[in-house]
Structure 1
Amino acid sequence: MYGTSKYKRIVLKLSGEALAGDDGFGINPVVIKNLAAQVKEAKELDVEIAIIVGGGNIWRGKIGSDLGMDRGTADYMGMLATVMNSLALQDSLEQIGCETRVLTSIEMKEVAEPYIRRRAIRHLEKGRIVIFAAGNGTPYFTTDTTAALRAAEVNADVILMGKNNVDGVYSTDPKTDSSAVKFDELTYLEMIQKNLQVMDSTASSFCMDNDIPLVVFSITDDGNIKRAVLGETIGTLINK
């Protein structure tokens, strides 16, 4: 235990849709301020926090590809969407007194720092909240894979995956199947074998190979980020 928290360093993975709330598109100011407040609450436990946010509330590369766009171009557009979300989250965090840095995999020095592993670790050690933007800088990879990669690079103790539409991992979609069963704990191998699609297969295999625990929980319940950091039993724990 580190202080009162279970983890010393975490990677928080947020979907782009989590920033849109019920709007389903764009950035909802009320929602993003609530998320920032939850992150600050967790930061006050003296835990080091890195965040990766998707871009699905603005653009999804796969949608563009399905519409006939070049997949690489569509994915780069998705990376730029994550930068917009990251800057919005940074602004909300700094408005409530959280020192924050955005590091991008695609260089755009006028708005954010380039991602350098040692620099990211140094920011975390100094107590700054680090937001990783623009995926891993290459197309064909999701932000789930980026979360797994960055967690390994900065030696994070866990990935906390906040969902805005479900409170854990279920056997089937609980919104369409009333018999769906929620799992309190899974191994990565079980998750892959059951095809539960919590993360894409690349991210799942990477987490399994590098022994990175994953907690899937609801981001819409106030205080859940803090509860996850404290190690309370919420959502679903997935490990090796």
Structure 2
Amino acid sequence: MRQIVLDTETTGLNPRTGDRVIEIGCVEINNRMLTGNNFHRYINPERDSDEGALAVHGLTTEFLSDKPKFAEIAAELREYVQGAELIIHNAPFDLGFLNHEFKLLGLPTFVSHSSGVIDTLVNAKELHPGKRNSLDALCDRYGVSNSHRKLHGALLDAELLADVYLSMTRGQNSLSMEIEVEATTIGGALEAVALAEIIVVRASDDEMAAHASLLEGLDKQVKGTCLWRSYAET
């Protein structure tokens, strides 16, 4: 199964007010294996980034000025994701921007070229209700190193999310397997005990005589009948 882990950086928060995509990062997973066949492009949005967005990604207007426009990379991106399942953290945000970019070019929606979408933010909230489920929080939770992440970057974030997704889904599967193995092992052990032959070794005449002598001595000490005789009778 081919999956594409995708992330974008943008000039702001709302494509309807003119914000644009400035970076796309994609990581390919095939049958749960990272292939190294990644897709990464910087894009000239033909406008400045909002101050808040610039503080997040650090991609200046000057840096992006000589990069291709979205129209120049759209066909390549469409071909790359064709038929794959998309894995995105907070998918409505990224898909909202990419669908808008495709609409500006008169193309079918971006998501229509995929076979489906997995939103890891939704999955994380179901697995960890009431906890922080940002990408950084998930990296900490699943032991994915993000110490080199100083600013947000589409390709870097996609790489981190790919590791988180594989860890998040693999952990669930291995837990089920461990429980099944444990149950099988315990069941086999109990079955072996049930089938084992029980050997009864009876006391010899000398041992019985020694036991009777001990009880008589106890009777004399308590000046009556010791408790052991009452237990023996039951």
TM-score (norm 2): 0.29
Higher strand share: 1
State the structure with bigger RCO (CA 8 A, min sep 6), 1 or 2. 1
Larger Rg: 2
Q: Which has the higher helix share?
A: 2
**What is the TM-score of this pair, normalised by structure 1?**
0.28
